Structure 1
Amino acid sequence: MSLLRTIATRNVKLTNHFKKQCQRKYSSTVLKSPLGEIQVPDQTFSDFVFSNSNAWEKKPALTCGVTGRSYTYNLAKMLNHHAAQGLLEKVGLDPGDKVGLLLPNIPEYLLAVHASLKAGLIVTFANPLYTAEEVARQFKNAGVRCIMTIPQLIETALTVSKELNNYTYTLNIGGKDEADKKILGLEQLLSGKYSAKLPQVNPNDLAVLPYSSGTTGLPKGVMLTHKNLIANLLQCNHPDIVDNIPTTETTQETVLSVLPFFHIYGFNGILNFMMYIGGHIVTLPRFTVEDYIKCLETYKPDSIFVVPSLLLFLITHPEVTPAHLSSITKVICGAAPATKSLIEKFKAKIGRDNCRVTQGYGMTETSPVTIYTPKSMPASKTGSCGKLLPSTEARLIDISNGKDIVTPETPGELLLRGPQAMKGYLNDPVATKEIIDKDGWLHTGDVVYYDKDEYFFVVDRTKELIKVKGNQVSPTELESIILEIPGVADVAVVGVPCKFAGEIPKAFVVKKPNADVTEEMIQSFLTPKVATYKKLTGGVSFIDAIPRNPSGKIVRSQLKNLNK
């Protein structure tokens, strides 16, 4: 009897084990990348980016599309090392200190970043279009001790520096020394003789601090380590994804990009990725139609990096002809989804089939890429942001009840996990816990679905962030400024659709009793305090009350419906 009971018990256990295996295989809540795993080397980020550069040391790395100023890989590597010594010895920084970059896209951006990292410093970067108030808010939060900028922005940098503790020098790229103002020219820094020994940097240490609003609230410092950044370059360089032209003595891929390096897409997805594979980046300090077309004609790029609004410009602008785009074999789109219609219109414009349009999905908090279109993606999947990158896991949860979604074609909030995910937000454990749960899942705030072949499609955003031509705009930031106006009782800012920008900010304002507040007053108050793309180009509407849920959070969906 005991023997029969033992056999029966064993059979039940085997049956339950088999059921669990089936459930894991066929109805698991966790999706894993079909591209396998990566092994992240125990290196610092700068060492990794330049790890293969000896093979193409005489090739151009970065070129300014306006001036033609250019650096070879060998020169960039040498200057990085020398400038790193100067930052420690001349500027007086210590490993672990924060450096703030207030720079447009210039070739020296590469030097500013990697010299700082080689010196064991932590880099944060701000939009050069920011007002001094906006830059100061970020750099104070980060704890910046040195600002690197250009002569055109030196006054902004000096204004900001007065609000920073333990400040050392302002490094002026392209400018001269001004000892009385503690300004140090880059040329003077590089001309010095130094003996400082560069520190040993732990790959798990913090490397960069880009700022993001995350899913809600004010911009926060995103803590990305050397390993986070390296992992994402390795993930994006998987052979099933990339088809870059190899760099040899006779070949090198040339890419044209105006997308900002202060944005994580431009920083790691373009600048550092192309340096890692030996490409030649032609970049512009600012976008003008004339300069962009001139670069297309002069450099005949193999690839271009775009956001949907730039892709629309290439399609619709009469001065951009198919001949201008004839050399391009690959278009990489990011920052916001490119629709199937937009991609098809671009292919119709160039009039040929030998140009691959790829796109992906990511966020600042994930270094940035998590999903990307593979080379083998069929035309029927056009409009998808692709499949999970190597070593990346995903889950979808129902936005109404938080339960896991296990079936294809069912939209839900995307949760991600992988080696590219940030450590957390700087000095903000509460916000960190709101976005990364106890099991390490990062809650993106984006609504997506996947099809039966596990291709992902972005549907909507549950998070508050407004994206204007790929730039992040925090509604909370704009609301806090507008609330400074004496006659404003309450305000909510939302993104409203725009054909060319994707979204633009619009404010809904509640006046105080008998207050004389007009749209012109609000626009005039806000305009000098924010970057151009943060302005209320969607307008201002006055309403009786801001819709809020029981916990007091603004119900922005209701306000967006008012705009329809």
Structure 2
Amino acid sequence: MARLAVLRSAIFNGVRRQELASSWRQQTKAMKSTTAARPERILEPPYPEKMQIPEATITEFVWQDVGQWLSKPAVTCGSSGRSYSHGETRALCRRFANALLGAVGLRQGDVLGLLLPNMPEFVIAIHGAIEAGIIVTFANPLYTPDEIGRQFMNAGVRASVTIPQLLPVMAQVGRSLPDYKWTIAVGGELQADGTVLSFQRLLSESVDADIPKLSPGDVALLPYSSGTTGLPKGVKLSHRNLVANLQQISHPDILLHVPTTETTQEVALSVLPYFHIYGFNGILNPTILYGMHIVSIPKFTPEDYIGCVIKFKPTILFVVPSLMLFLASHPSVTREHLSSIKHVVCGAAPATKNLIDKFKSKVDRDINIRQGYGMTESAPVTIFPSKHAPLSKMGSCGQIVPETQAKVVDLTTGQSLGPHESGELLIRGPQVMLGYLNNDEATQETIDPDGWLHTGDVAYYDEDEYFYIVDRTKELIKVKGNQVSPTELESILAGEVPRAFVVRHPDYQSLTEADVQEYVEPKVASYKKLAGGVKFIDVIPRNPAGKVLRQQLKVLGDKSPIQ
């Protein structure tokens, strides 16, 4: 079936997203005072016992049991084969912390920028810096110098870690940063101008420095997120935020992995970027915490990924819907290749039941597939299914994780809603960010005075309090006063992530706009039809986390005629 996506941002009748969000907030505040009060429905997690969140730094928490599996492999590059054991990784993190405070000359509270693909050294760089009390911000290596410069300027980056191929980019960026000191190259050597340091040399020459005593409330990480509106903003995540979320997803009813012992070790395969909060605190940190072996590659190619599946025989896969579709559909991926897989965790975007069924059909045996929900501002997980979730809830993103509250509120009145009523999802818990860096206005717009994080996502929950994500508040389309959900149209057009932009399957090159329109029209009300037409393109643009880059689709739509 052709894959289709509705171009949400292009059909807002000329109203900018930020204006929509601001208008909605103002309208909500006004109507709250005039609407008859309904009993507030605040949902609690389905776990009756109280969970204690440790008062620890992320360094202390992640490495707390490393002594039990020092010789076990920790992180491996599936492309080069380069690998470090848990003991080696822990020791090198401490060495890098000493080097940053010593030779590099950074101090507690300074900001280090990471411009790295997935590689074993990413772990050493990020955890070494955090252990030294240095705040880390990471960026996509594919960003332009302007994009990196904007983020690093806003964050106040004083040094960075990158790869030799990106040294020219960091040289350009570094010149624009007022207090920038060093670029540290993984695999690079010192340059004549003395602005570049060798990562390996720093590790080999490191001497003990005065590692500061950190507080769980200190900012540890500064990822960037657009939030509900506007340009990317620095999300201040404390040690406590990160630790709380790891503890929450460690509940016995959620965990499924086999404990690491002398004879057993789970192997996780993931190409999802560590420079995304899901990749860092949803994948990388849990695998280290539990002594697993994580294998990754710097860049996805079908050949490298399939090679890793064959060579390392992973027991756990971390995927996004597009990767699950690849595994379910690609003829080079056989049932035998997937024979070692016991668990699949899907994130970043919703996977439909049709897609999950298709993957299960390929595997042809009992396998646990779960998908959760979260965002950068919540470190990231807020909703995730327990291991007891029934098959009937397969399309859901699960239930609230421990020590978290949620409610769904009406998009117009702000009143809390009951089961099967769609509205904006609000979250409250210890994993919710401290706020946006240097942006009190955006912080107050996102976290209300009662501590509720306004996610900007439209959701509903069923009678068993399993949640389903419907859409984004900022992407709802209004047609003659009626609200149209692009995702609803997407779910009709295809079983996965439907689009108003179509990539023709090789076997369906004759597919026309009329075919698509005729398929949709009987299934929707008149105001939900694809009045904007259908455009055929070669590939759906996505970011490294697998999300559709709708702004790029908008540009494509503006430039190309409807076929």
TM-score, scaled to structure 1? 0.79
Following the alignment from structure 2 to structure 1, what is the Cα–Cα distance between the partners of residues 332 and 456? Answer: 39
Alignment-derived partner of residue 105 in structure 2: 92
Alignment-derived partner of residue 32 in structure 1: 44
- The amino acid across from 1:49 in the alignment is V
1:393 is the counterpart of 2:394? no
1:74 is the counterpart of 2:72? no
1:346 is the counterpart of 2:359? yes
Alignment-derived partner of residue 105 in structure 1: 118
Alignment-derived partner of residue 417 in structure 1: 428
User: How far did 1:196 drift?
Assistant: 1.3
1:373 is the counterpart of 2:385? yes
Question: Aligned to 1:50, which of 23, 45, 63?
Answer: 63
Following the alignment from structure 1 to structure 2, what is the Cα–Cα distance between the partners of residues 99 and 442? Answer: 27
Alignment-derived partner of residue 297 in structure 2: 284
**1:63-105 deviations in Å (ceiling 9; x for gaps):** 0001110011111111111111110110010100000000000
**Structure 1: 4+ residue segments shifted above 3 A:** 494-506, 531-535, 537-543
Following the alignment from structure 2 to structure 1, what is the Cα–Cα distance between the partners of residues 50 and 293? Answer: 28
Alignment-derived partner of residue 190 in structure 1: 203
1:297 is the counterpart of 2:310? yes
1:505–1:534 CA contact under 8 A, matched in 2: no
1:413–1:443 CA contact under 8 A, matched in 2: yes
Question: Aligned to 1:127, which of 140, 144, 158?
Answer: 140
- The amino acid across from 2:440 in the alignment is P
**1:377-407 deviations in Å (ceiling 9; x for gaps):** 11111100000000000111101221111x2
**1:233-258 deviations in Å (ceiling 9; x for gaps):** 01011111111011001100000000
Alignment-derived partner of residue 12 in structure 2: none
Alignment-derived partner of residue 430 in structure 1: 441
**1:95-136 deviations in Å (ceiling 9; x for gaps):** 000000000000001001111011100000000111111100
Alignment-derived partner of residue 359 in structure 1: 371
Query: CA 1:224/1:295 → structure 2, altered by over 3 Å: closer, same or farther?
Result: same
1:504–1:538 CA contact under 8 A, matched in 2: no
Following the alignment from structure 1 to structure 2, what is the Cα–Cα distance between the partners of residues 345 and 377? Answer: 20
Following the alignment from structure 2 to structure 1, what is the Cα–Cα distance between the partners of residues 96 and 498? Answer: 40
Answer 1 or 2: higher relative contact order, Cα 8 Å, separation at least 6. Answer: 2
Secondary structure of 1:416's partner? strand
Following the alignment from structure 2 to structure 1, what is the Cα–Cα distance between the partners of residues 501 and 209? Answer: 48
User: How far did 1:501 drift?
Assistant: 7.0
Structure 1 spans left out of the alignment, 5+ residues: 1-25, 466-493, 507-530, 544-562
Secondary structure of 2:552's partner? coil
- The amino acid across from 2:453 in the alignment is L
Alignment-derived partner of residue 514 in structure 2: none
- The amino acid across from 1:287 in the alignment is F
2:189–2:198 CA contact under 8 A, matched in 1: yes
1:79–1:190 CA contact under 8 A, matched in 2: yes
After superposition, residues 163-174 of structure 1 pair within 5 angstroms as 163-174=176-187
Alignment-derived partner of residue 382 in structure 1: 394
Query: CA 1:537/1:412 → structure 2, altered by over 3 Å: closer, same or farther?
Result: closer
Question: Aligned to 1:217, which of 230, 240, 253?
Answer: 230
Following the alignment from structure 1 to structure 2, what is the Cα–Cα distance between the partners of residues 78 and 107? Answer: 14
Query: CA 1:52/1:542 → structure 2, altered by over 3 Å: closer, same or farther?
Result: closer
Alignment-derived partner of residue 21 in structure 2: none
User: How far did 1:463 drift?
Assistant: 3.2
User: How far did 1:201 drift?
Assistant: 0.8
After superposition, residues 224-303 of structure 1 pair within 5 angstroms as 224-303=237-316
Following the alignment from structure 2 to structure 1, what is the Cα–Cα distance between the partners of residues 173 and 548? Answer: 19
Structure 2 spans left out of the alignment, 5+ residues: 1-37, 477-485, 503-546
Secondary structure of 1:32's partner? coil
Following the alignment from structure 1 to structure 2, what is the Cα–Cα distance between the partners of residues 537 and 445? Answer: 21
After superposition, residues 307-318 of structure 1 pair within 5 angstroms as 307-318=320-331
- The amino acid across from 2:369 in the alignment is V
User: How far did 1:38 drift?
Assistant: 2.2
1:505–1:536 CA contact under 8 A, matched in 2: no
- The amino acid across from 1:285 in the alignment is P
**1:463-488 deviations in Å (ceiling 9; x for gaps):** 359xxxxxxxxxxxxxxxxxxxxxxx
1:447–1:460 CA contact under 8 A, matched in 2: yes
Query: CA 1:505/1:393 → structure 2, altered by over 3 Å: closer, same or farther?
Result: farther
Secondary structure of 2:211's partner? coil
Question: Aligned to 1:332, which of 337, 345, 348?
Answer: 345
User: How far did 1:37 drift?
Assistant: 3.2
User: How far did 1:179 drift?
Assistant: 4.8
Greater C-alpha Rg: 1
Question: Aligned to 1:404, which of 416, 436, 442?
Answer: 416
TM-score, scaled to structure 2? 0.79
Following the alignment from structure 1 to structure 2, what is the Cα–Cα distance between the partners of residues 388 and 532? Answer: 26
Percent of aligned positions that are identical: 53
Following the alignment from structure 1 to structure 2, what is the Cα–Cα distance between the partners of residues 419 and 292? Answer: 36
Give the number of aligned pairs. Answer: 467
CA RMSD of aligned residues (A): 2.5
- The amino acid across from 1:292 in the alignment is Y
User: How far did 1:538 drift?
Assistant: 5.1
Following the alignment from structure 2 to structure 1, what is the Cα–Cα distance between the partners of residues 501 and 113? Answer: 27
Question: Aligned to 2:552, which of 506, 517, 536?
Answer: 536
Following the alignment from structure 1 to structure 2, what is the Cα–Cα distance between the partners of residues 196 and 43? Answer: 21
- The amino acid across from 1:186 in the alignment is F
Query: CA 1:504/1:289 → structure 2, altered by over 3 Å: closer, same or farther?
Result: farther
Query: CA 1:360/1:154 → structure 2, altered by over 3 Å: closer, same or farther?
Result: same
2:43–2:406 CA contact under 8 A, matched in 1: yes
Following the alignment from structure 2 to structure 1, what is the Cα–Cα distance between the partners of residues 244 and 303? Answer: 37
Which is strand-richer, 1 or 2? 1
